[in-house]
Structure 1
Amino acid sequence: MPQISNRGQQMPESPIRKLVPFAEKARAQGKTIFQLNIGQPDIATPEVALKAVHNYEPKVIEYSHSAGFESYRRGLAGYYDNISKGISYEDIIITTGGSEALIFGFMSCLNPGDEVIIPEPFYANYNGFSTTAGITVKPIASSIESGFALPPIEEFEKNITSKTKAILICNPGNPTGYLYSKEELEALRDIVKKHDLFLFADEVYREFCYDNNVHHSVLNLEGIEQNVVVVDSVSKRYSMCGVRIGAMISRNKELMATAMKFAQARLSPPSLGQVASEAALKTPQSYFDGVIKEYVHRRDVLVDGLNAIDGVFCPKPGGAFYAVAQLPVEDAGHFCQWMLDSFDYNGETVMMAPASGFYSTPRSGKNEVRLAYVLEIEKLKKAVVCLEKGLEAYKNR
């Protein structure tokens, strides 16, 4: 029988989805599952986007330009111009989700065997994208005690080699919810400029910043305009995960011309998704005001509830809609599976993502979980109670 490729064997399994079979079995047994394992918001998609799809008139759903509809890119350029002056529609390529944007960036900027430095824990699929591109992740640990702040710049310096070509951050962070300060980003700017690296920034949670904190985009870092690549997506901004529309943004013309070759090879991004996304640009600010208010409430209910459980520690995130909690268990992966296949409280249980899957360093995050506060308040309250009861039962099992 033919052998599976080394790349395929090295491709990591999703820590977010690998417990799905246990969840399906639990549901078949009649259990109610509070799904905090995945960033699928229950917030309503903006009406203006839904109407655009409902009212779509063409008789043929055609390919778009490989870079995306020009009208959508021009609209996005207006959106980004409010973030950083001078972004043109030609500085934007529409992609199939933010995932494809990062893959295009990796394939365009790094050669097989090159290295990208990423503060960990980080979005688990960065490992998969790196495997796809044939590059190596060099993780630098941040700590739960500091709320996952940017590691000291000295740690970056220690890890830079002749193979280092880029640094990747997520701001606000998935899975941590940490929001980088202007000073932290400027420190990154200095090291990127010193070593002439690319700086990738996943900014898909840009709108979700709390407690009067402000998001600072890497697009505004002076002196490294040609080094910066931004990855974006409509999935979480407008609660439209299923339309699979993202974007790659850079002022580097040579880089964007290179990325266009990859965009042409996959023909075009989804047309109907672009229709919804272009319409979503007209979403009123009142929508985001309401969403942010709701997420702050949910965050406080979840994080305060977690910290009230004996032995649990969870720093309060400044953005996104995730939190990482340290649990009084040795193996959070085993505990998460046990919660699904061996436990319920009044017929209810909780599904979480073991945080070890968000680290590249072996055995890191073994007693941590990521929780997404994407459910309504009453469900989050029940989930916290269920988790507390589960930890008690797990300890005494």
Structure 2
Amino acid sequence: MPAISEKGRLMPESPIRKLVPYAEEAKKQGRKVYHLNIGQPDIKTPQVALDAVKNNNIEILEYARSEGSEQYREKLAAYYRGKGIDITAGEIIVSTGGSEALLFAMGTVADYGDEVIIPEPFYANYNGFATASGVKVVPVVSSIENNFALPPIGEFEKLITPKTRAILICNPGNPTGYLYSKEEIRKLAEIVKKHNLFLISDEVYREFTYDNAEHYSIMQEDGIAEHAIMIDSVSKRYSMCGARIGCLISRNKEVISTALKFAQARLSSPTYAQIASEAALETPQRYFDDVIEEYVSRRNLLVSELEKIEGVRVAKPKGAFYCIAELPVKNADDFARWLLESFQWDNQTVMVAPAAGFYSTPGMGTDQVRIAYVLRKEDLLEAVNILKEALKVYPGGK
């Protein structure tokens, strides 16, 4: 039999999706499964976006431009200017989700064998994007003990080698909900200028910050125009995960012209999804105010209830809609599978994402899970109660 590629063999499974077959089997057996594993908001998509597709009278569904519709990019640039980020339509490449924008970024800045430094835990698919691009992830470890704060800048500099091409952050963070301060962004800016690196910032959760904290983008930092690459997406902002529309933004003309070649190779992003995303820019601020109020309420409930469970430690997120919880178990992968295969409480169970897949350092996060608080408070309360009862009888505890 022909052999698969080494790259394919090394491609990691998604810790978010790999347990889906077990969840489906649990449902077939009549159990209700509370999905805490995936960042699929239950918030309604803005009606203006849905109506833009529903009421459109397109007769030929043509290719869009490879860099994205000019009209959409012009409106997107105006949106960012309203957020204090002064960019033009020509500094935006529309992508098929933030995922493709990250692939474009890695392909643009790094060659096979080059290195990208990433604070961990990080969005699990960064491992997959790096593997697909032939790039080595070099982790800087952050810890639940200090709420996953950015490690000291000296820790970054220790890891910089001639192969280092970029530092990649997620702000606010997935899976931790950590929000970078302006001071931290400025420290990172100094490093990339000093060592002539790129600073890539995944800002898809930029609208979701809590406790009166403000998001500070790398695109607002002076002096790093040639170094900064921002990734964004409509998926979470407008609860439009299925649209698969994101973007890559940079003032570096060579970055944009190179990323465009990758965009041309895949032809274009979906036309209807761009129409919906353009219309979504008309969403009023009260939509976001209501969403943030709801997420803060859910976060507070989740953290409070988790902290009541003996042996559980949880980091309090400042943004996004995830948290990392450390459980009194030896192996969170085994526990997550056991929840779906062997446990039920009143014919219900819970699906979580084992956190080891959000690290690249072997052995890290093995007793942690990522929990997405994207369910109604009533469901979150029930899900945490099921988790508490499961931990009482789980045979693989510490």
Give the match for residue 206 of structure 1.
Answer: 206
> TM-score, normalization: structure 2?
0.99
Q: CA deviation at 1:223?
A: 1.3
Give me the whole-angstrom Cα distance separating, in 2, the residues matched to 1:177 and 1:85: 22
- The CA deviation at 1:81 is 1.1
CA distance in 1, matches of 2:395, 2:293: 36
Secondary structure of 1:383's aligned partner: helix
Within a 5 Å distance, the mapping from 1:1-397 to structure 2 comes to 1-395=1-395
Q: Alpha-carbon deviations, 1:321-367, whole Å to 9, x = none?
A: 00000001111111111111110110111100000000000010010
Cα pair 2:329 2:396 within 8 Å, conserved? no
Q: Which ranges of structure 1 fall in alignment gaps of 5 or more residues?
A: none
Q: Is the 8 A contact 1:311 1:327 kept in 2?
A: yes
Q: AA paired with 2:175?
A: P
Distance 2:196 2:79 in 1: 28
Name the CA distance, whole Å, in 1 between partners of 2:348 and 2:299.
21
Structure 2 SS opposite 1:323 = strand
SS in 2 for 1:216: coil
Tell me, yes or no, if the aligned pair for 1:83 and 1:217 is still in contact at 8 Å: no
1:12 maps to a residue whose letter is: P
Whichever residue aligns with residue 382 of structure 1, its letter is E
Quick one: distance in 2 between partners of 1:255 and 1:193? 16
Which amino acid letter does the alignment assign opposite residue 293 of structure 2?
K
Q: Deviations over 1:342-393 (max 9, x none)?
A: 1011011110000000000001001000000000010000001000000001
AA paired with 1:265? A
Structure 1 stretch displaced more, 78-87 or 63-72: 78-87
What is the CA deviation profile of residues 198-223 of structure 1, one whole-angstrom value per residue up to 9, with x for unaligned ones? 00000000000001000000001111
Secondary structure (helix, strand or coil) at the match of 1:64 reads coil
Contact preservation (8 Å) 2:85, 2:219: no
Deviation for aligned residue 1:304: 0.7
Alpha-carbon distance, 1:86 to partner? 2.8
1:292 counterpart SS class: helix
SS at match of 2:370: strand
- The CA deviation at 1:303 is 0.9
8 A Cα contact 1:97 1:244, kept in partner: yes
One-letter code of the match for 1:327? Answer: L
Distance 1:164 1:345 in 2: 49
Task: Give the Cα separation in 2 of the matches to 1:82 and 1:187.
Answer: 25
Give the superposition deviation at 1:85.
4.3
Aligned AA for 1:334? D
Distance apart, 1:60 and its partner CA = 1.1
Q: Specify the SS of the correspondent of 1:83.
A: coil
What is the SS of the residue equivalent to 2:175?
A: coil
CA RMSD of aligned residues (A): 0.9
Deviations 1:127-186 (A, max 9, x none): 010011111000010000111110111110110001001000000000000001111111
Alpha-carbon distance in structure 1 between the residues aligned to 2:396 and 2:271: 54
Q: 2 CA distance for matches of 1:39 and 1:131?
A: 23
Q: C-alpha displacement at 1:84, in angstroms? A: 3.6
Q: Percent identity?
A: 60
Alpha-carbon distance in structure 2 between the residues aligned to 1:130 and 1:34: 31
Q: What is the DSSP-based 3-state SS (H/G/I as helix, E as strand, rest coil) of the residue aligned with 2:394?
A: helix
Q: Is the 8 A contact 2:335 2:396 kept in 1?
A: no
Residue identity matched to 2:322: Y
SS state at 1:23 partner:
helix
8 Å CA contact 2:349–2:386 kept in 1: the answer is: yes
Structure 2 letter corresponding to 1:49: A
* CA deviation after TM superposition for structure 1 residue 82, in Å: 2.0
Instruction: Report the CA distance between 1:395 and its aligned residue.
Output: 4.8
Does the residue aligned with 2:258 lie in a helix, a strand or coil? helix
Query: Where does structure 2 lack aligned partners over 5 or more consecutive residues?
Result: none
1:12-45 CA-to-partner distances (Å, cap 9, x unmatched) read: 1111111111101110111101000000011000
In structure 1, C-alpha distance between the alignment counterparts of 2:127 and 2:187, rounded to whole Å: 25
